Amino acid sequence: MSPSSQKRLHISALLLGSILIAVISARPYAGSWNDGSRLATVESLVDYHTWSIDESVFVRTPGIITKNWKAAYPPDKPALAAQGTLDKLFIRGLYYSDKSPLPALIMAGVYKMIQVATGLKAAANPPLFCYLMALIFSGGSYVVAVFCMDGTMGVLGLSWKPRLFVVWSFALATVALPYAREVNNHIILLAVFSAIIFFATGYAQSGGSKQWRLVMIGTLMGIGYPIDLGTGPILVLCVTALIAVQTRSPDKVALALIMAFPWFLLHHLLNYKIGGVFKPANAVTEYLLWEGSPFNAGNITGGWAHKNAWDFLGYAVCLLFRPKQGFICNNIPLYLCIPAAVLLLRNKNARSPLVWCSLALIFGTWLIYAITSNNYSGACVSIRWFVPLLAPFYFLLAVFLKERPEYAIDLLILTAWGAALAVVTWSEGPWLQHVPRGFAVFTVGALASWLGWRLKCHLQIRPAESRK
């Protein structure tokens, strides 16, 4: 088969595979407070013309929907079905979602178009409403992220086998798979991160001659900022620094920031309209202390959240390696990033500005949440805040494999075990409240298989060296 035929086959398989995964993954209900809160805002904006979610079907549930196929919540979660979402703020006598408002506004625009075309009402048919929102925004983001990752591999000039391994590992062996099932900001931000890395890689490869890529980078930076107000500022700092280092041009930095500024402004104006503050409304403790609220000053994310430095250090390590939630533990192929980061930092040829930017994104996001949280991001698969970091992690893997293609088999071994774990978490959905089934078997199996392969490679190299 010719290279062009291989490429067409690969792209077709990737397109059909990722779309099929998105279609079968989307669920016809809100599976948690998290997506119920966001969907409540979308419904309220279109059907009740208000940011208040008091009238939403995701808040005012009948309490008897365990056998009602038109339920907003799944029948196997009766408490959720009875209570409705508790991710809400009490402001001036009304309830509002505690989620960032700008993504909900964009979703509401899409819902309005669907409603005009079909007459769909969320309260009349919650399953169809939930399915379409999950398919378009979470499933669609999954497809975009996978294609941007593949595009980045092509721009990097990664050889055929490592490219296949990296892209399909990203698509099938990570928590991107379960997060494609229900509406959440984290998979959307993964698509934004993946797109930024794709355009930034192309911009670097073109020698800065393609200005439209810089426009796209600035626009995506602006869109990404309000999706997660913990990660957003880190994203802006890292991408701005990347442009400054790559271009050494204040004009080009200004261009990117000008493209991002309208999104910054719109977010803060909406936030002020709802909560009367420019900082995140869910960081205002008074708004969270309504009667029956599950939140208190001890579990709110946003400030120093630890008893002492040792408590902080332990929590920071657990964010990556704790069995139930640890991000690397739940994305088994990322174990390869540990030696990859060391080798990349030792190799001057591989230390590009985009590599440093990726490392800064990972470290900065991990550090900010390690400092300001203590709840492991709640009941969910791994650490939901870190889902967007799959993009810079896999970019580092791609650069590493370009320099050291012999490690492609290592990635394949870890991917096989990671895919098994991802299928288990996919079956449960993103709002998992227990350790994934078979977690210990998959983890031990992956590390043992990887160690066995590395030992085999080492033993093969040593006799060859001794013969010389």
The confidence band for 301, taking pLDDT boundaries of 50, 70 and 90, is: low
CA-CA distances (angstroms) from residue 175 to 73, 86, 185, 238, 333? 22, 25, 14, 24, 11
Q: Distance between CA atoms of 418 and 426, rounded to whole angstroms?
A: 12
Averaged pLDDT of the chain: 91
CA-CA distances (angstroms) from residue 154 to 99, 140, 143, 341, 384? 36, 21, 17, 21, 28
- Tokens representing 76 are 């196997």
Provide the residue range defining the domain that includes 233: 27-467
Amino acid at 317: V
pLDDT in tens, 215-224: 999 999 999 9
Q: Are 50 and 147 in contact (CB under 8 A)?
A: no
Amino acid at 34: N
CA 109 to chain centre: 22
Per the rule left: phi > 0, alpha: psi between -120 and 50, beta: everything else, 380 is beta
Q: Distance between CA atoms of 344 and 328, rounded to whole angstroms?
A: 19
Give the DSSP H/E element, type plus range, for residue 14. Answer: helix 3-25
Query: 8 lies in a domain?
Result: no
**Nearest CA among 330, 322, 326 for reference residue 439:** 330
User: What residues pair up with 94 in beta bridges, in sequence order?
Assistant: 91
- Tokens representing 96 are 């509002």
Q: What is the pLDDT of residue 115?
A: 97
Per the rule left: phi > 0, alpha: psi between -120 and 50, beta: everything else, 352 is beta
* pLDDT surpassing 50 at residue 278: yes
* pLDDT surpassing 90 at residue 80: no
Query: 22 lies in a domain?
Result: no
* pLDDT surpassing 50 at residue 380: yes
The confidence band for 281, taking pLDDT boundaries of 50, 70 and 90, is: confident
Query: 17 lies in a domain?
Result: no
CA-CA distances (angstroms) from residue 375 to 135, 302, 305? 29, 12, 9
- Tokens 């989307």 belong to residue: 26
- Tokens representing 224 are 């990404």
Start-to-end CA span in the chain (Å)? 38
SS3 content of the chain, % helix, strand, coil (to 5): 70, 0, 30
Q: Are 146 and 190 in contact (CB under 8 A)?
A: no
Q: What is the pLDDT of residue 66?
A: 41
Query: 18 lies in a domain?
Result: no
Q: What is the pLDDT of residue 322?
A: 92
* pLDDT surpassing 50 at residue 177: yes
The whole-model pTM stands at 0.94
Query: 188 lies in a domain?
Result: yes
Could you write out the three-class secondary structure of 34-52?
HHHHHHHHHHHHHHHCCCE
Q: Distance between CA atoms of 52 and 91, rounded to whole angstroms?
A: 9
pLDDT in tens, 334-374: 999 999 999 888 887 777 899 999 999 999 999 999 999 98
What is the DSSP code (8-state) at residue 74? -
CA-CA distances (angstroms) from residue 333 to 51, 170, 396, 400, 454? 41, 9, 12, 13, 15
Q: Are 327 and 386 in contact (CB under 8 A)?
A: yes
If you count them, how many residues does the chain have?
468
Query: 74 lies in a domain?
Result: yes
Q: Distance between CA atoms of 53 and 56, rounded to whole angstroms?
A: 5
* pLDDT surpassing 70 at residue 389: yes
Tally of domains in the chain: 1
Which pairing describes strands 94-97 and 88-91: parallel, antiparallel, or unpaired? antiparallel
HSE-up of 210 (CA within 13 Å, CB side)? 13
What is the DSSP code (8-state) at residue 322? -
Q: What is the pLDDT of residue 208?
A: 63
User: What residues pair up with 52 in beta bridges, in sequence order?
Assistant: 96
Three-state DSSP class for residue 95: strand
Q: Find the mean pLDDT for residues 381-408.
A: 95
Q: Distance between CA atoms of 65 and 67, rounded to whole angstroms?
A: 5
Query: 108 lies in a domain?
Result: yes
CA-CA distances (angstroms) from residue 22 to 16, 17, 164, 243? 10, 9, 20, 33
pLDDT in tens, 54-66: 999 999 865 444 4
The confidence band for 77, taking pLDDT boundaries of 50, 70 and 90, is: confident
- Which residues touch 217 (CB under 8 Å, ≥6 apart)? 196, 199, 200, 203, 239, 243, 256
Query: 19 lies in a domain?
Result: no
